[in-house]
Amino acid sequence: MQTKKIEEYIWEIPVTEKEGMRVPARIIASEKIMKEMDQGVYNQITNVACLPGIQNYAYCMPDGHWGYGFPIGGVAAFDLKEGIISPGGIGFDINCGVRSVRTNLSFDEVKPRLNELMDALFRLIPAGVGSTGFVKLNTERFKEIMIKGVDWCIQNGYGWEEDRERIEQGGRIPGANPDKVSQKSISRGMDQLGTLGSGNHYLELQVAQTDRVFHPEAAKVFGIDKPNQIFVMIHCGSRGFGHQIATDYLRVFTEAMRKYNIQILDKELACAPFNSPEGQDYYEAMLCAANSAFANRQVILHKIREAFSQVFHKSPLELGMHIVYDVAHNIAKIEEHLVNGVKKNVLVHRKGATRSFGPGHLDVPEFYRQIGQPVIVGGSMETSSYLLVGTQKAMEMTMGSTLHGSGRTMSRGAAKRKVRGYELMKSMEERGISVRAVSMPGLAEEAGIAYKNISEVVEAVDRAGISRKVIELKPIGNIKG
């Protein structure tokens, strides 16, 4: 497919490349990443560019790779009247996201007790297939969580008042309607609150790299105030509840497509007009899953604080366990953006992409408003993760969006044939990364060799200017579902 360079790190596929494209597609990448990008990405991002009501461009981030429907790393905004909403543009794991938490502890303080801490975390936070959480819910309480998200957790003792402000949209997106979720999704998700899940979901202990601070002012605001500080990262989503909502509505939408006579190039891009009963029902159900995912990460954080407190015999507050931020990277949201130079509300789908609002934006909490919204980028379990901040250029170029992780380059099967779980665990331990995994084959599937180089993809968004690097975080402990 023909691509032309718009500027360093921004590439465009013109509408002439595929019949039906309504807007060009844009890929944010270095020349090297472009060359290595799998062909599925080109095909899928141009399919997205064909969807009704798409605004500006169909975007793909440098961590992009072949998914289903949208590519992973895909971003697309739609007109609220003429445009669509698509579960394939959000993913089955609604509001899969990342939360970063700081501590007052240094690596030297944690090192002698690392194994004890890892055991406590592994014991307190259920992971893997079929695991259940400690919060006992009934349908009524679960419905409250769908509406209130993190507020429910705080009200029930699973969080601090200040936590709310350090989460995208306060961990409670308005508009969720529990009447739009099926009984099946409720029964599938009700006992999973506070569980990590499996696959690429993890809980990680990290050391902030004092010699890898790129934006000292932002690092200070993030609470980085001593060398080799310990951070915690959580990566997980809405669990079976979200998966079932997506499954239910994918079926509703395959029918709706006939009704509204919408043509698409991949059945997984099934969609409905946003302004239709089906589109609105899915949006309201999707937000129930989004809020429950914020609550899930909140309940997990509650347990992390408990584990640290047990091991270090200090309260979580004394340990300075403040949230840095929490981002959703599988979601659709109504946001105001520039379209042809005019500000308007659009429905932004981000599938494996993160919001990256710049300094001064009113949706950025006040204490971050000067530096821009924190962006959290999780690496593979063997490599670093990064904290970044959003920029004004992201608002102008990518509908306030940036990357979400490193992006796979190798299938899980191929990774498993190259690496064995126990050997990988041994090698990680030798490199100073303590591992607790419920499944050894599952661990092998997530080996670092299966992913793009995190530093390269982060460099690409930094150079493109759609977010700015703040600090690198190196793993010292990984818990894998």
Partner 1 sequence: MPKFKFLDDIAIADAAFVAYGKTLEELFESCALATFEVMVETKGVKPEQKEEIMIKDQNLDDLLFDFISELIYLKDVRKIFFSKFDLLIKKNKDYKLTGTVWGEKIDYKKQEIKRDVKAITYHLLEIKKSGNSWKAQVILDT
Q: Min. distance of Cβ 4 from partner 1 in angstroms? A: 26
The secondary structure element, H or E, covering residue 106 is strand 97-106
Q: How many residues bind partner 1 (CB under 8 A)?
A: 47
Residue 315 is classified by DSSP as -
Pattern 334-353, partner 1, x by CB under 8 A = --------------------
Gap between the Cα atoms of 479 and 201, Å rounded: 9
Q: Which of 366, 349, 369 is nearest to 358 (CA)?
A: 369
- Quick check: 122 and 265 in contact, CB under 8 A? no
Give min distance, CB of 447 to partner 1, in A: 13
What is the footprint of partner 1 within residues 151-190 (CB under 8 A)?
184, 187-188
- Joined together, the tokens standing for residue 256 give 């709706």
Closest CA to 446 of 382, 386, 351: 382
251 binds partner 1 (CB under 8 A): yes
Residues 33-62 within binding reach of partner 1 (CB under 8 A) = 38, 40
Q: How far is the CB of 23 from partner 1 (least distance, A)?
A: 22
Q: Does 380 bind partner 1 (CB under 8 A)?
A: no
Q: What share of the chain is helix, strand, coil (3-state, %, to 5)?
A: 40, 25, 35
DSSP strands (E only) in 16-53: 25-28
Torsion of CA 434, 437, 442, 446, to 10 degrees: -30
- Interacting residue with partner 1 among 27, 61, 246, 353 (CB under 8 A): 246
Q: CB under 8 Å to 316, separation ≥6 — which residues?
A: 305, 306, 308, 309
Among 243, 302, 333, 355, binds partner 1 (CB under 8 A): 243
Among 83, 89, 91, 316, which residue interacts with partner 1 (rule: CB under 8 A)?
91
Q: Which is nearer to partner 1, 244 or 384 (CB)?
A: 244
Nearest alpha carbon to residue 18 among 47, 60, 39: 47
| C-alpha to C-alpha distances, 30 to 61, 366, 409, 461, nearest whole angstrom | 11, 33, 16, 9
**Interface with partner 1 (CB under 8 A), residue from 268, 326, 335, 462:** 268
Contacts for 167 with CB less than 8 Å, ≥ 6 apart: 99, 150, 294, 298, 323, 325, 326
Of 201, 329, 337, 404, the active-site residue reads: 404
93 vs 168, beta carbon nearer partner 1: 93
Hey, what are 160's tokens?
A: 């601090």
Q: Is 404 a catalytic residue?
A: yes
Asked if 413 touches partner 1 (CB under 8 A), the answer is: yes
375 and 402 Cβ atoms separated by less than 8 Å: yes
Q: Which of 250, 300, 464, 473 binds partner 1 (CB under 8 A)?
A: 250
DSSP 481: -
Q: In the 8-state DSSP scheme, what is residue 161?
A: G
Q: By CB under 8 A, is residue 72 in contact with partner 1? A: yes
Contact with partner 1 (CB under 8 A) among 3, 22, 68, 165: 68
Q: Rounded to the nearest whole angstrom, what is the least distance from the CB of residue 163 to partner 1 in the complex?
A: 27
- Find the binding residues for partner 1 in span 417-446 (CB under 8 A): 438-439, 441-442, 445
Q: Cβ closer to partner 1: 57 or 253?
A: 253
Only one of the segments 15-23, 148-156, 195-203, 428-436 lies at the binding site for partner 1 (rule: CB under 8 A); that segment is 195-203
Specify the residue, 112 or 413, whose C-beta has the smaller distance to partner 1.
413
Smallest distance, partner 1 to C-beta of residue 413, A = 5
What tokens appear for 246 in the block?
């997506």
Number of neighbouring beta carbons within 10 Å of residue 138: 9
Binding site for partner 1 (CB under 8 A): 38, 40, 65-69, 72, 88, 91-93, 128-130, 184, 187-188, 192, 197-199, 240, 243-244, 246-247, 250-251, 254, 266-268, 270, 408-414, 438-439, 441-442, 445, 481
- Tell me the catalytic residues: 404
